[in-house]
Amino acid sequence: STAPADWDKPLEGKVAIVTGAARGIGATIAEVLSRDGAHVICADIPAAGDALSETANKVGGTSLALDVSAPDAADKLAEHVLERHGGADIIVHNAGITRDKTLANMDEGRWNMVMGVNLIAPQKITEALVAKGALKEGGRVVDVSSIAGIAGNRGQTNYGTSKAGVIGLVQASAPVLAEKNITINAVAPGFIETAMTAAIPFATREAGRRMSSLLQGGQTVDVAETVAYFANPASNAVTGQVVRVCGQSLL
């Protein structure tokens, strides 16, 4: 049709998985997808504890203890959604970690841990969901990258590389997933006010905020609404894209 659709709940009847949903950007993504009508499976590490069930309750969804970097995580998630829901329509790879060190002090442990959670897990999980038919035809994959993967950031060779890798992954996967009518896109947030950025020393944090053309930090909802667009039927023809959220980088 050439006419715009008139949706009240554009994701009604859809099942969405959000990783790292206990807090921060992931929790707000869960809220926004739920507002749009989706049933949201909120996944996070077991250590997230009550915060995870609180998010799940708030959005009227379900919670799943899942370390995305565990060797059996992809299979476990695929089985979970097939058994409980007959498959999922949307997966948002939001779980992410930093383990910052200057290049000279960047040990292999920090490197591998960040790669495992930020880059390898999203790939393995998408692959397993698709291979097992746990992500339905017409499904949506949204990866959370970072401005650090585009513009770089001091002390974050591991993190920046993993987030740049996510962009490569999205672009390389798009034509393959298109065969199943599945789109895959990335959001690349700038500085967003969350626990992750609150942990940064004050001066660096202030500098981070001013690296955006907005000259301030963004809010989790700014990222979540962009994710919701990629999950929305309205973005059917949009795939392999990266959208920066929180101004233009002034780096």
Residues that bind ligand NAI (CB under 6 A): 19-20, 22-26, 44-45, 48, 66-69, 94-97, 117, 144, 146, 189, 191-192, 194-197
| Structure token pair of residue 32 | 């926004």
User: In whole angstroms, how close is the CB of 166 to ligand NAI at the nearest point?
Assistant: 9
Nearer to ligand NAI, 189 or 247 (CB): 189
Nearer to ligand NAI, 24 or 165 (CB): 24
User: In whole angstroms, how close is the CB of 246 to ligand NAI at the nearest point?
Assistant: 8
For residue 91, give the nearest of 219, 189, 186, 191 by alpha carbon.
Answer: 186
CA distance 121 to 242: 19
Torsion angles phi and psi, residue 249, rounded to 5 = -70, 130
Nearer to ligand NAI, 84 or 205 (CB): 205
User: In whole angstroms, how close is the CB of 130 to ligand NAI at the nearest point?
Assistant: 20
- Is the Cβ–Cβ distance between 213 and 179 less than 8 Å? no
What is Dmax (Cα atoms) for the chain? 57
- Is the Cβ–Cβ distance between 42 and 63 less than 8 Å? yes
| Structure token pair of residue 119 | 């880059």
Q: Which residue's C-beta sits nearest to ligand NAI? A: 96
Nearer to ligand NAI, 77 or 135 (CB): 77
Q: How many CA atoms lie within 13 A of 174 on its CB side?
A: 18
Nearer to ligand NAI, 59 or 144 (CB): 144
Write the DSSP string, 58-107. HTT-EEEE--TTSTTHHHHHHHHHHHHHSSEEEEEE---------GGG--
Which is catalytic among the residues 22, 24, 64, 159? 159
Is 229 one of the annotated active-site residues of the chain? no
User: In whole angstroms, how close is the CB of 182 to ligand NAI at the nearest point?
Assistant: 21
User: In whole angstroms, how close is the CB of 87 to ligand NAI at the nearest point?
Assistant: 21
Q: Which residue numbers are catalytic?
A: 159
